[in-house]
Homo-oligomer: A and B are copies of this chain.
Amino acid sequence: MSLKFNRRELDFLLYEFLDTEALCAQPRYAAHDRETFDAIVDSALAVAGETFANHAAEIDAQEPEFVDGRVRMLPAVKQGLDAFVDNGFMGVGFAEADGGLQLPYTISQALNWVFTAANTGTSGYAFLTMAAANLLSAHGSEEQKARYMRPMIAGRYFGTMCLSEPHAGSSLGDIRTRAEPCADGSYALSGTKMWISGGEHELADNIVHLVLAKIPGSPPGTKGISLFLVPKYRLDAQGEPADFNHVVLAGLNHKMGYRGTVNTLLNFGEGGECRGWLVGEVNQGLACMFHMMNEARIGVGLNAAIHGYAGYLHSLDYARERPQGRPTGQRDPASPQVPIIEHADVKRMLLLQKVYSEGALALGLYGAALVDQQHTSDEADVRAEIGLELEILTPIIKAWSAHFALQANYWGQQILGGYGYTRDYPLERIYRDNRLNPIHEGTNGIQSLDLLGRKVVAQRGAAFQLLIRRMQASVEAASADAELAPHAQALAAAIEVVTGTTTKLGMAAAQGEVERFLANSWEYLEMLGHTVIAWVWLRQAQTAQRGLARSDCSAEARAHYAGKLAACRYFYRWELPKIRRQAELLSALDDSVLQMPAEGF
């Protein structure tokens, strides 16, 4: 299977919708320009096409096996990851001083797009390692960076994040893994961690587990959690992997999808001592982890968007090639059939996929661009403001994208009919892979509680108000364009609906009606999410208008811009009005859910 990709869409989002090149004015990225960005994307497309796309279906059909306490998997996975490492992609976002390429986070997310579209299972090992190295970069000691982070950036060691336990997924305050202080300043870890992706394999010389655990005597709940670096093999005096550290594979999880990335149950300290080293301060483990959570959740939202978009491209090809049926009104059965893209309902299914997945891609990459701006701005005020915007956008990027890009896959599969239900076409696999995204990194339900219960109300609504101002600025700018003015008005009206609803909810909470305030949080996330995506579509339409106005606009570009404008119109007509019903329910503090007696189910 070759890699299906739309380079034009990527370029549109990176260089027209976003101004990624502008980052090159910052000292951190001064060595780069559009040319180096393009070169690395070209290189990623080549490597992903050759060594990732080639085994995407195969690793789904032949998932990793647990054999004699080890994980056995297809050799193609290691071949792909070796090529990834050899081409320097593991270091894409890291400092040159640490062996990285020092590229913006936005560009590393563009590469995420390329590799995930090619093969999400094999990509998983790489992106987990980058996330773990990133955490060490922010919170690790100099020694930890030298001994563990740099080999991870070089691709010699891989990494994991160990948060959940079999009895504690959403409720991390209830974890039981213990870390007993040892005389040499290290800790002895004991406990079981669940859902650990990349928890055991022989793809790298070592595996660096970043583990949440409790030091005896620490406070109950989330305030008593610390973060530990726990290697699979302890390092010897030369800093090379040596003795086994008793991180024992207890079992593999057999999943609906994402089968290429091994997912494990790990016992720490089984059959011998398992040593770990504190990362950051005692009892600050969750804070360290959450410091990286925005990026991790932007990654999940983008992963969902990438799957949504990949399914869209596959179903688009099918719709263009499959002849079936005749135009409405053509009653001559001997007349030639038309490609199904000419049927209105097929167009609808393509449009839905387009608005959901391109909307989610644009929003996720915008989030990535905010991360870059936050990291590079000289001004503390600007950094704080961007931080606020990221706080409120993150649960939307994660949960809205996971929910709706998965719906996109449903419609893509539907376009292929019976073929979409077979494993001969990638749609059903893409759906199964993407199905993870509403669940992991905080379920979508948890995201909606985080959004309404924390992010919206924090600092007296500062983040919410900032987001509203950002959207209003786009309304003003778009109002000047006659074609976009109706959309701008619709967005302005939506902003009013959302603001009014949020005010009513806030007042209810202030009066102590906390349960009713939070009862419909998922509807709130959908409502604010649809408004934010409408904003993103308006900005894409503005970008398209600017492109169309250029004298050198090619026919190909013109068609792409026209598609953006038609998709924007579709989103405003078909999707944005959905928020009114949600606003009514939320404003009324509807308690239908609370009124349902548990024994009535």
Contact = CB atoms under 8 A, between A and B. Distances in A.
B581 A596 contact: no
A78 interface: no
B514 A354 contact: no
Contacts of A444: 414
A26 interface: no
Interface stretch (A202-210, A496-504, A515-523): A515-523
Contacts of A522: 345, 348
A41 interface: no
Nearest to A418: B195
A141 interface: no
A448 interface: yes
A443 B414 contact: yes
A337 interface: yes
Given A574-B592, A578-B581, A559 B422 contact: no
Contacts of A254: 422-424
Contact of A417 (B170, B329, B333, B577): B170
B346 A445 contact: yes
A592 B563 contact: no
Contacts of A573: 585, 590, 592
Contacts of A592: 351, 566, 569-570, 573-574
Contacts of A173: 333
A599 interface: yes
Interface in A326-351: 326, 328-329, 333-334, 337, 341-351
Nearest to A559: B599
B567 A325 contact: no
B445 A345 contact: yes
B585 A574 contact: yes
Interface stretch (A98-106, A122-130, A434-442): A434-442
Contacts of A521: 344-345
A413 interface: yes
A564 B319 CA distance: 43
Contacts of A239: none
A351 B593 contact: yes
A223 B334 CA distance: 12
B324 A519 contact: no
A543 interface: no
Nearest to A61: B254
A220 interface: yes
A61 B164 CA distance: 27
A562 B597 contact: yes
A551 interface: no
Interface on chain A toward B: helix, strand, loop, or mixed SS? helix
A463 interface: no
B169 A418 contact: yes
Nearest to A329: B514
Nearest to A440: B418
Contacts of A420: 439
A492 interface: no
Interface in A148-189: 164, 167-171, 173-174
Given A344-B593, A423-B255, A581-B580, A414 B600 contact: no
Contact of A418 (B164, B333, B354): B164
Of A350, A424, A573, A594, most B-chain CB atoms within 10 Å: A573
Given A334-B221, A422-B256, A566 B445 contact: no
Contact of A333 (B222, B559, B566): B222
B435 A421 contact: yes
A168 B347 CA distance: 20
A253 B515 CA distance: 50
A599 B341 CA distance: 10
B563 A596 contact: yes
A600 B413 contact: no
Interface of A: 164, 167-171, 173-174, 194-195, 219-223, 253-257, 316, 320, 323-326, 328-329, 333-334, 337, 341-351, 354, 413-414, 417-418, 420-424, 428, 431-432, 435-436, 438-440, 443-445, 448-449, 514-515, 518-522, 559-560, 562-564, 566-567, 569-570, 573-574, 577-578, 580-581, 584-585, 590, 592-601
Given A174-B337, A255-B421, A350-B596, 11 more contacts: A168-B324, A171-B325, A342-B598, A348-B519, A560-B600, A562-B597, A563-B597, A566-B596, A566-B600, A570-B596, A580-B581
24 contacts: A174-B333, A195-B418, A219-B333, A220-B333, A220-B334, A253-B424, A255-B423, A256-B431, A316-B601, A328-B514, A328-B515, A328-B518, A329-B515, A344-B515, A344-B518, A344-B520, A345-B522, A346-B445, A413-B439, A414-B438, A414-B445, A418-B439, A562-B599, A564-B600
